[in-house]
Every structure is written in C-alpha cells, then in structure tokens.
Amino acid sequence: MVKGKMPRDSTYRILLDWKGELAKAYRFDKASATVLLFGPEGAEVHRSGVQDLEPGPMGPILRAVRSLLASVGGAGE
C-alpha cells in the first residue's frame, strides 16, 4: 500500500525506517515524528520534530525543502 503512494520520480528519495535503525542512529525523539532533510552531498541540512500537521510547525520544514530543492535545481519555488 505505501509503495503505491510513493512518487515514481527517483530524483528525490524518501526513506521509510521500518526497523528503526535510522531512528536509533540519529536519536529521534519518540514523542514526535522526526523530519530530516539531507543535501546532495549526504549532509543533514534540516531537522524538525513534528507532533501535529499544522501550518505553524510545518512552515520551517516547507521552507527548508523549498530551499534545498532550489539549490539543486528542483522545483523549489
């Protein structure tokens, strides 16, 4: 079911951490969903903990995504 909802464009990757290995390595907060963004070189460029999908908490994440996409020539604007 999840695979069918994922974009077919392989330019941008989304990781689903079913076993929790990334969560352990990056010490995620169990009280929230952690959103990590990595740049083209593999470095972490943004980290946010989100508990609600409200405009306030999502604003910094969306700005970081747009900035990252713009920096790699994607549809950031």
- Which DSSP string corresponds to 9-39? -TTS-----TTSHHHHHTT--TTSEEEEEE-
Q: What pTM, to 2 d.p., does this model score? A: 0.56
pLDDT at 9 over 70: no
How do the domains of the chain map onto residue ranges? 2-71
pLDDT at 73 over 50: yes
Q: What would you report as the CA-atom Rg of the chain, rounded to the nearest whole angstrom? A: 13
